[in-house]
Amino acid sequence: MAAPMDTENEMEREFLKQGAEAKVYRENFYGRPCISKQRFSKAYRHQILDKSLTLQRLKSEIRAMNKCRNLGITVPVLYFVDPQTSTFYMEEITNSQTVRDYIVDLQKNDPELAIKKLTPLAGKLGSILGKMHSGKIIHGDLTTSNMLLRGDPENLDIVMIDFGLSFAEGLPEDKGVDLYVFERALLSTHPNTEDLFTEVMEAYKKANVKEANDVISKLDEVRMRGRKRTMVG
């Protein structure tokens, strides 16, 4: 099967975003709205190393998405993977917004309503993260921009994206770090969300019963290290 679009054929795809390692486009996959994500070379990396790292990231992203789907975690449907151009094509989650934009809007417009709406969402997220970790997947880049919301406004579904830094297996420490990254991202992007993180963790414990204690003690350790670093400067 040929790739649906040549890389030279920029005309028919709409550029959406450039991250640190990938460009994200909106295009059409045999008649369906589609998002493509193309990893690009980093000039500072040795050429051969760069190629293998790019391929590795592409593979780990695909692998994690497939695993999540098997675990019952909602991720975009994968359409096609093209290692030649380091691109994969997936379902566009239409009529969605990032958790980041959702929180920012709610907090700006109605802080009280924000707490009411965000608490159940935090619970859902904690269940997803617990399930993901008990299924041996570390996301690697848990931020509120890497989660999309769609569906019934009163009962939104969370769609997890951006598994480019993910990896499999993982010790409790890796899971603790995964949660720490999320805690930092949440608190630094959205003020007054400490209680939401607590809510996330309550649901996490229920969804990853076997490991939760070990993971949380690692999370505490990582937090302590973080704090010491900040104090030393």
Ligand X SMILES: Nc1ncnc2c1ncn2[C@@H]1O[C@H](COP(=O)(O)OP(=O)(O)OP(=O)(O)O)[C@@H](O)[C@H]1O
Q: 54, 86, 144, 146: which one contacts Mg ion (CB under 5 A)?
A: 146
Q: DSSP state, 16? A: E
* CB-neighbour burial class of residue 203 (10 A; exposed 0-12, middle 13-18, buried 19+): buried
Shorter beta-carbon distance to Mg ion: residue 146 or 208: 146
Quick one: how far is CA 54 from the chain centroid? Answer: 18
The answer to whether residue 141 is catalytic is yes
* Least separation in angstroms between CB 12 and ligand X: 18
Give helix 194-207 / helix 111-134 axis angle, nearest 10°: 30
Catalytic-role residue among 141, 162, 178, 214: 141
- Rule CB under 5 A: is residue 61 a binding residue for Mg ion? no
Q: Which residues pair with 160 in a beta bridge?
A: 147
d(CA 40, CA 37) in angstroms, rounded, equals 10
* Least separation in angstroms between CB 141 and Mg ion: 6
- Rule CB under 5 A: is residue 183 a binding residue for Mg ion? no
Q: Which does 16 bind (CB under 5 to 8 A by kind): Mg ion, ligand X, none?
A: ligand X
What totals of helices (H) and strands (E) does the chain contain, helices first?
6, 10
Q: Which positions lie near ligand X, rule CB under 6 A?
A: 16-17, 19-22, 24, 35, 37, 76, 90-93, 96, 98, 141, 145-146, 161-162, 164
Q: Which does 179 bind (CB under 5 to 8 A by kind): ligand X, Mg ion, none?
A: none
CA max distance for the chain: 56
Q: Which residues participate in catalysis according to the annotation?
A: 141
Contact set with Mg ion (CB under 5 A): 146, 162
